[in-house]
Amino acid sequence: MTQLSDYYRDRAAEYDAVYAKPERQDDLAALRGLLPALAAGRILEIAAGTGYWTQVLSASATAITATDLRPETLAIARTRQYGPAPVSFRQADAYALDEVPGQFDAAFIGFFWSHVLRSDVRRFLDGLHARLGPGATVLVLDNRYVPGSSTPVSRATAAGDTFQLRTLNDGRTYEILKNFPDRDQFAADIAAVGTDLTWTDLPYFWLATFRLR
């Protein structure tokens, strides 16, 4: 996981290039239409990155606290224009959400679920449940694996984790944890703490919502 953090530190300046892929534009437009209707109340955003999705959520949320482990990505996020919801930023570990102050009605997890080790899923969910409490809404957005568009999987482990080799513009290469759960796997993962699951499959992305028990 240290290499994952280093990768996003070094990728910060080129982070948003992935959203320019031509084949994904229809999906991105669809998500920009879907998310505002789901993003209500005070939102805790986990692994906000450069604020791309924070900007979308701010159109309908009451307030957003956007967190990320890397100050480099948050520095870029702070340069965006948001609103009408007020947005605050905080450097925070997704596994230490008890350290994030504030009251929240919902959480948004954009493209971080795929970076959670299979053995850490329950720990992450327990921390989320403890921080938000019963009844809170959780929105999760992440990638589907699409040959020819996704970076090829470089290896898989017996525990079910998959990895990719990512190369930055300067040639540095990192091996990154990137899992691709389907609906059945996700439903099984959240069963102990979540209910009322909805799942939307797009060609390149999936979007899930559920309520904490």
Query: Residues 14-37: pLDDT tens digits?
Result: 999 999 999 999 999 999 999 999
Checking if the pLDDT of 206 tops 80, the result is yes
Q: Which two tokens stand for residue 207?
A: 């979007």
The answer to whether residue 150 is domain-embedded is no
The answer to whether residue 151 is domain-embedded is no
Predicted pLDDT at 3: 82
The answer to whether residue 154 is domain-embedded is no
**CB within 8 A of 20, min separation 6: which ones?**
none
Confidence of residue 166 (pLDDT cuts 50, 70, 90): very high
The answer to whether residue 135 is domain-embedded is yes
What's the whole-model pTM score? 0.96
The CA distance from 11 to 5, in Å, is: 10
Amino acid letter, residue 126? D
The CA distance from 96 to 179, in Å, is: 21
Other beta carbons within 10 angstroms of residue 167's beta carbon come to 10
Q: How many domains does the chain have?
A: 1
Beta-strand pair 162-167/173-177: antiparallel
Calculate mean pLDDT across residues 161-178.
96
Percent of the chain with pLDDT strictly greater than 90: 98
Arithmetic mean of pLDDT over the chain: 97
Model confidence pLDDT, tens digit, residues 173-199: 999 999 999 999 999 999 999 999 999
Q: Which two tokens stand for residue 92?
A: 């925070």
Model confidence pLDDT, tens digit, residues 80-92: 999 999 999 999 9
Predicted pLDDT at 34: 97
**CB within 8 A of 206, min separation 6: which ones?**
141, 142, 143, 144, 183, 199, 200
Nearest Cα residue to 134 out of 50, 196, 178: 196
The answer to whether residue 7 is domain-embedded is yes
Checking if the pLDDT of 2 tops 70, the result is no
The answer to whether residue 12 is domain-embedded is yes
Model confidence pLDDT, tens digit, residues 80-139: 999 999 999 999 999 999 999 999 999 999 999 999 999 999 999 999 999 999 999 999
The total number of residues shown for the chain amounts to 213
Domain residues for 101?
2-145+182-212
Checking if the pLDDT of 1 tops 80, the result is no
Predicted pLDDT at 159: 97
The answer to whether residue 93 is domain-embedded is yes
The answer to whether residue 164 is domain-embedded is no
Q: Assign 42 to helix, strand or coil.
A: strand
CATH number of the domain to which 190 belongs: 3.40.50.150
Q: Which two tokens stand for residue 31?
A: 């998500």
